[in-house]
Structure 1
Amino acid sequence: MSVALGMDAFSIGLGMGMLSLRLKQIMKIGITIGLFHMLMPLAGMTIGKQILLHFGNIAGLIGGLLLVILGVTMIRSSFSSNDEPLVQPVGLGLFVFALSASLDSFSVGLSLGIYGAKTWLTILMFGMMSMLLTWAGLIMGKKVQKWFGSYGEAFGGCILLAFGVKILFPF
């Protein structure tokens, strides 16, 4: 389950890796995503069954909407004459990025809270796998960005946009 939850972080990392990121930023982003993938299911587990019926679908919609906004912003900024992208995974941008990548783990945490999963083992696995998969996605995205040149940011934005649309409209 931790690999499945971490795959969305990998996909989003692949898209965000198209930005010119330094290794220090990649490390910080991976750690932040890992922490969010620990905190969100922990919050979900503590809230439990009462909120599941009302909040489960909304969490996915919010995450999908955030990814669509990030993707559109990246695509738009790739066609502007300004070299600095509008979305940067620092400060508030990093918070939005981490939140959008980990909202689904909140819903999973709600479900796991109902079934009495081992809380600390579960959240540690979620955090570690998400951190590792985010790093892998960001590093792969950085390598691919060199091949795409100036279109790398637009391609990364398309990945985020597609992933957000998939969350909003599951087929």
Structure 2
Amino acid sequence: MNVLSTVFIALAMSTDAFAAAVGKGAALHKPRLQEALRTGAIFGVIEALTPVVGWAIGQAAAPYVAAWDHWIAFVLLGVLGIRMIHEGFSTAEEEVEKPRTHSFWMLAVTGFATSIDAMVVGVSLAFMDANIIATAAAIGLATFTMVTLGVMVGRVLGVIVGKRAEIIGGVILIVIGGLILYEHIGHAQAV
């Protein structure tokens, strides 16, 4: 996997966290940088750890599915991308509490909920030639940055930007899944 793919995966994985952060920022009276950095750090660490867990699960299964690994990565990323696009177009309004501050545990639970997709990506990365540490670090850094920005601009931009970011992230995952399949099929035909 090349650097550009890693960057795109990192950005795609941070979009749902960004959407949640925009909501968190919108819920605060006047988001402060300290709160935004704290939220970004919590989300970033969780989002960096979950692909490593998924990768470990995928590594355990890799010897049994080596002939189908590219298809598994394609399907996982495609389904995840479609889910993100669907959620991005969803018009359902969620009831959101308007807390004065966000507790660590509430942020951790929200961070974990938005990182499930990163765990699935970690599983698919186990079937490719990917540096999981570099990819996990990129995902964590992108999430930290996007969440920090999301909290700070959440009050101004609201939920609409978050939804659009999730749609873009879903499209990116589908494209990456297609490229993985294309590279494998192209490599197999060249041999």
TM-score bracket, shorter-length normalisation:
0.5 to 0.7
Rate the CA distance shift 1:88–1:104 in 2: closer, same or farther, 3 A: farther
Aligned pair partner of 1:73 in 95, 98, 101: 95
Instruction: Decide whether the 8 Å contact of 1:34 with 1:126 is kept in 2.
Output: yes
Aligned pair partner of 1:131 in 114, 131, 144: 144
The offset of 1:5, in angstroms, is 1.0
Instruction: Decide whether the 8 Å contact of 1:41 with 1:109 is kept in 2.
Output: yes
**Structure 2 counterparts to residues 46-125 of structure 1, below 5 A:** 46-48=56-58, 50=61, 72-74=94-96, 77=97, 85=98, 89-125=102-138
User: Percent of aligned positions with the same letter in both sequences?
Assistant: 22
Aligned pair partner of 1:28 in 25, 38, 42: 38
**CA deviation profile, 1:69-108 (whole Å, cap 9, x unmatched):** xx6331xx4xxxxxxx259531321111101221110000
The offset of 1:116, in angstroms, is 3.5
- Alpha-carbon separation, structure 2, partners of 1:103 and 1:34: 13
Normalised by the size of structure 2, how large is the TM-score?
0.58
> Residue 126 of structure 2 aligns to a residue in which SS?
helix
- Alpha-carbon separation, structure 1, partners of 2:107 and 2:50: 16
Instruction: Tell me how many residue pairs correspond in the alignment.
Output: 134
- Root mean square deviation of aligned Cα: 3.3
- Alpha-carbon separation, structure 2, partners of 1:124 and 1:159: 25
Matched letter for residue 137 of structure 2 = L
- Alpha-carbon separation, structure 2, partners of 1:19 and 1:110: 34
2:17 is the alignment partner of 1:6: no
**Structure 2 counterparts to residues 121-160 of structure 1, below 5 A:** 121-142=134-155, 144=156, 156=159
- Alpha-carbon separation, structure 1, partners of 2:109 and 2:141: 20
Aligned pair partner of 2:26 in 4, 18, 30: 18
- Alpha-carbon separation, structure 1, partners of 2:161 and 2:11: 19
- Alpha-carbon separation, structure 2, partners of 1:8 and 1:87: 22
Q: Rg bigger for which structure?
A: 2
> Residue 114 of structure 1 aligns to a residue in which SS?
coil
In structure 1, the gaps of 5 or more residues are 78-84, 146-154, 167-171
Normalised by the size of structure 1, how large is the TM-score?
0.64
Instruction: Decide whether the 8 Å contact of 1:88 with 1:94 is kept in 2.
Output: no
Instruction: Decide whether the 8 Å contact of 1:41 with 1:108 is kept in 2.
Output: yes
Instruction: Tell me the equivalent position of 1:40.
Output: 50
- Alpha-carbon separation, structure 1, partners of 2:100 and 2:57: 32
Instruction: Decide whether the 8 Å contact of 1:6 with 1:130 is kept in 2.
Output: yes
The offset of 1:19, in angstroms, is 1.6
> Residue 104 of structure 1 aligns to a residue in which SS?
helix
The offset of 1:139, in angstroms, is 1.1
